[in-house]
Structures are given as C-alpha cells and as structure tokens.
C-alpha cells in the first residue's frame, strides 16, 4: 500500500491503539509512543502490519520532537494527525510540583502544537496535511476535584483547535473529540475508589465507553462524510454531560 501516512500519537495503548487498529485497513500509519515494544505489539495487531511504521519518542521532550519526527518520516508525508497521547494525575493542584504541571501540559498540549507546526511546514511535509484530530476530554467542560491541571491542558487543546481550524482552512480540517469515561489503562487511575462502578452507573446513562467508540468517530471525522465539519468539540460521553444530577 502506498500513499501518505496518518500519524497517531499515544498509539501504544488505550484509545490511540484502538484508533490505529480501526484505521489500519485503509491507511498507512505512523504509530507514536514511548515504548518501542508496545508500539510494535500494536503494529503487529493491525491489519497489514507491514504497511505501518513506529515512532518512539517521549512527548514530554517537546524541543526534541522536530529532529525525531523528521527522522521517523524519512522523507514521507503525513496527511492526517491524531493526537491521542495524554497523561493524567489526580491530585490537588496546590500540592502538585510545578515540574509535574509542566510535564502534563507538554504531553497533552505543547507536543500537539509542535507537531502541527512541523506538519504545516512545506519544507518538512510538502503541504500534505489535510486533517487534525485532537483527543481532548470531557474534563475540559466540567469541574472535578483533583483534576484541575489535566482539565486545563485539555481546555487549552480545545482553544488551540478552534483557532487552528480557522487558520488552516480550507485546506485542513481540525476537530477535537471529548471522550467521557472510557475503559483504558489511564482511566483506571480514576477508578481506584471502591464505589467507582456505582458512580459511573449513576452518572452515565449509557454506561462506560469503550475505546472503539472513539475510534469509530475518529474514522468518520477523517472521511469525506465529514467534509463540512471543522472547529468542533465533539462530545462522546454516554450522556454524562446531559445528566442534571451527578453523583460524586
């Protein structure tokens, strides 16, 4: 299979891995993540694994992204970028070290800004970029104790998306997906309390989501069926934000 690449960050687990598997039958993928072993496992689980490549990089190192990504591309181009990388720590912001706050913003927000900046350059990507999807979070819309820094990083991602959609139109479409509670390794952090499942059942009319619920929407937003959709925050949360009386 020939053609441009679709770059998926955070592809070594959770939503990113599921997006990769969902797209693997129709697109050539560049799978980004920190662990070469886990990336290779995801690549091997994709359809046509020989068509896909991996990019090992820790996105907390934002200044190093440019050189590493250029090496990974090896002269090829990217027509779609899905930023699924993310890091979460549930703790009161007043006790969180500044270095950890910066680390969360680097992975969740600044790395996405840097990658889009690079892919928008003709010298690196030959003006091939056509689609950007930023995996944000429903936490950017609702308040929650211990989640201020993560929520702020995702809110910054949404604000960036809206301005970027205008700046890059009409050549590039840019949207955010805001998942609710989805069954992933990262969500297990939020499920450590004993009554977590009862709280989810009370707050999510359709229950907890699965990574495939986000992957299906990502696939749609990349398609021509979404040709008139840009600058949007698309919420996929099983009815959580429609609920009037949340249980805490």
Question: So which residues are the catalytic ones?
Answer: 150
C-alpha 181/C-alpha 11 separation (Å) is: 18
The β-bridge partners of 55 are: 32
Q: In 3-state terms, the chain is what percent helix, strand and coil (to 5)? A: 50, 15, 35
CB 79 within 8 A of CB 130: yes
Nearest to 124 by CA among 59, 162, 56, 74: 74
Residues 6+ positions from 220 with CB-CB distance below 8 Å: 226
What sign for the dihedral angle of Cα 34, 39, 42, 48? Answer: positive
C-alpha 230/C-alpha 132 separation (Å) is: 9
């Amino acid at each position: 299979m020939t053609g441009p690449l679709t770059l998926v960050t955070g592809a070594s687990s959770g939503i990113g891995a599921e997006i990769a598997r969902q797209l693997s039958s129709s697109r050539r993928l560049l799978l980004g993540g920190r662990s070469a072993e886990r990336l290779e496992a995801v690549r091997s689980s994709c359809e046509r694994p020989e068509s896909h490549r991996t990019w090992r990089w820790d996105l907390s190192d934002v200044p190093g992204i440019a050189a590493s990504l250029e090496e990974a591309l090896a002269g090829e181009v990217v027509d779609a970028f899905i930023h699924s990388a993310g890091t979460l720590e549930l703790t009161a912001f007043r006790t969180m070290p500044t270095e950890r706050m910066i680390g969360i913003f680097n992975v969740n927000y600044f790395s996405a800004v840097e990658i889009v900046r690079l892919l928008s350059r003709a010298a690196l990507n030959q003006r091939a970029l056509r689609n950007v999807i930023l995996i944000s979070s429903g936490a950017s819309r609702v308040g929650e104790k211990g989640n201020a820094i993560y929520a702020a990083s995702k809110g910054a991602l949404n604000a960036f998306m809206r301005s970027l959609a205008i700046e890059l139109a009409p050549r590039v479409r840019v949207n955010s997906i805001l998942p609710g509670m989805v069954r992933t390794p990262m969500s297990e952090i939020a499920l450590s309390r004993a009554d977590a499942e009862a709280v989810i059942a009370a707050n999510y009319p359709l229950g907890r989501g699965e990574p495939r619920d986000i992957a299906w929407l990502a696939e749609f937003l990349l398609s021509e069926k979404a040709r008139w959709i840009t600058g949007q925050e698309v919420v996929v949360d099983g009815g959580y934000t429609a609920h009037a009386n949340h249980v805490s």
